[in-house]
Amino acid sequence: MKRFVYSVNCLLILILNLFSQIYIAPAPDGSDENPGTIDEPYGTFAKAISESAPGDTVYVRGGVYNLTSTITITIVKSGLDSLMCIMTAYGDEQPILDFSAQSFGSKGISLKANYWHIIGLQIKGAGDNGMEINFGSDNIIERCQFYDNRDSGLQLSYGSTNNQIINCDSYYNADPDNYSDADGFAPKLTVGSGNYFYGCRAWGNCDDGWDGYLHGADDVTTTLENCWTWGNGYLKDGVDPGSQANGNGFKMGGGDNSNSDSLMHHFILINCVAFENKGKGFDQNNNLGSMTLFNCTGYDN
């Protein structure tokens, strides 16, 4: 029995050592000259991502990261179905990725890979989307916040499929000077099928809470469950920027292709709530796809 227990313990140690734990911290504590350990963390996301492999965990220490360029995770850094790459806030610390100094039109995080699980990051001030999942599929974005970005907080584009967005918040996103595109969550334009939002909230975005408007995609399905949206169509200070800021809670479709009268964005909403939006709580927007609303509530829109 002792020999068996010893063998099991050795096996567990071997398995744990197969996967790296990589640490990153904001200046002045982090440096890419460090080995990336908890005591000597890396200083940039690019370095941490470059050192990661399927099954590894990148721990992001708390504090403010002042960033000026897009964090890109490319397809060659994808995880595997059974071995996702993980990027997570360390413990209960709060890492804030501040892109306020970034040039207009630049994304905060561009996720072009598959099988990443990103947890507990705050992403603010990006020159465009706080995060864009771009050609990326089978990712999980959990307990992240997207705010004060200069376009939609989180957008899914270019055929991104089967992503899960869980318990995330997106708020106070606005695109100057037009104020017509910045949504909380945007599974729109060229989005793929099978994306799922659970327990997410969107408020105070200058355009819509959720926007499913299509341009380049067709016959795709998006599901929302236990999601809330309110107060959209206004700026952070409560000012109405004009009619171009639609202010819908859940916009389920529409399109501007030459065949826009036939584009189908199949939307499923379960236990969702929309209230006090400038426009409609639930907007079909000429969508020819199937739209299923189960146990949903709209109030004072």
Q: Which residues are catalytic?
A: 251
- The Cα angle at residue 267 between residues 262 and 271, in degrees rounded to 5: 155
Contact 225, 270 (CB under 8 A): yes
Q: 65: helix, coil or strand?
A: strand
- The Cα angle at residue 117 between residues 199 and 108, in degrees rounded to 5: 85
The set of long-range contacts for 90-95, using a CB threshold of 8 Å and a minimum separation of 24, is: 90/23, 90/59, 90/60, 90/61, 90/62, 93/60, 93/61, 93/62, 93/63, 94/62, 94/120, 94/122, 95/26, 95/60, 95/61, 95/62, 95/63, 95/65, 95/120, 95/121, 95/122
Residues 90, 222: Cα–Cα separation, whole Å = 31
